[in-house]
Structure 1
Amino acid sequence: MKFKNYFLGLAICISCCTSPSEKRNDKKANDSEDTNVSMISTMANTFYEHDDYSNAIKYFDKLIDRDSTNGQYYFRRGYSYARLIKKKDAIEDYKRAIKYHFKVASANYNIGLNYSYDNDSLALYFFKKCIEADSSFVDAYSAIQDCEKRIKLGETR
């Protein structure tokens, strides 16, 4: 009985261990995955920087599938959605960027901009959140003034 348990334990240990060649293959797989992510990132950023937002979104989708905690991916995809006038998608991505602490002031400001076409009260809220995150964000102050002016005049959206 002791022999049987010994061999069972040995078999389990052997199956759990990886050989040096398997470790090399794992490293190659990781290197390949890193290269793949790097290539996808390059494509996403190239499309983004050349204002090809539809294609940028496709590549940011792939990046987010690989790393769903990268705030920059959400921020840039959000900006791309905003440029394509997909406000709801843009707002959701900016909120995710904030969740992962990426450009919190800018993300709040951009959410405010997206809301400023439909809802001055929400726009005002996010412009103020922008200033809470960065009191030197000059554009947010003028956006607040514009919202407050529309609200005061009864021209709210």
Structure 2
Amino acid sequence: MLHHVRFYLPEMYTKLHRILFLDDDIVVQRDLTGLWDIDMDGKVNDAVETCFGLFHRYAQCKNFSHPLIKENFSPKACAWAYGMNFFDLDAWRREKCTEQYPYWQTLNENPTLWKLGTLPPGLITFYSTTRKELALPECLID
């Protein structure tokens, strides 16, 4: 259930403009206050791109034989580190991303668009609103 909470951050934190979302397995080893100075170019999400190899491409987690997926997304699109996101909540509200999440979840009731999990609908929800330039790749190293 907690994995779904991330899609309702703007409703939970109505007075915030930006928020750093970290999964519980992320270890912070330095001051991250500089993130608040990032120009996100109007995007909702800034994240670390994880496009090393085929595993982290959209084709690996979505059913591209389904017309809805095939028509709306590129199988070669790169994913991002889903457990570390810097969100502009004002842009999120403007883009109505929270409404996109249940819309796609409902379309995938049987599941024919993707297998279960929150990564595929997250990648769909923030597909065109993610700036994959967060300069923290060292956070991905074990």
Point out the structure with the larger strand share. Answer: 2
- Considering Cα pairs closer than 8 Å and 6+ residues apart, tell me whether 1 or 2 has the greater RCO: 2
Give me the TM-score of the superposition, normalised by structure 1: 0.20
Give me the TM-score of the superposition, normalised by structure 2: 0.22
Point out the structure with the larger helix share. Answer: 1
Indicate the structure (1 or 2) with the bigger Cα radius of gyration: 1
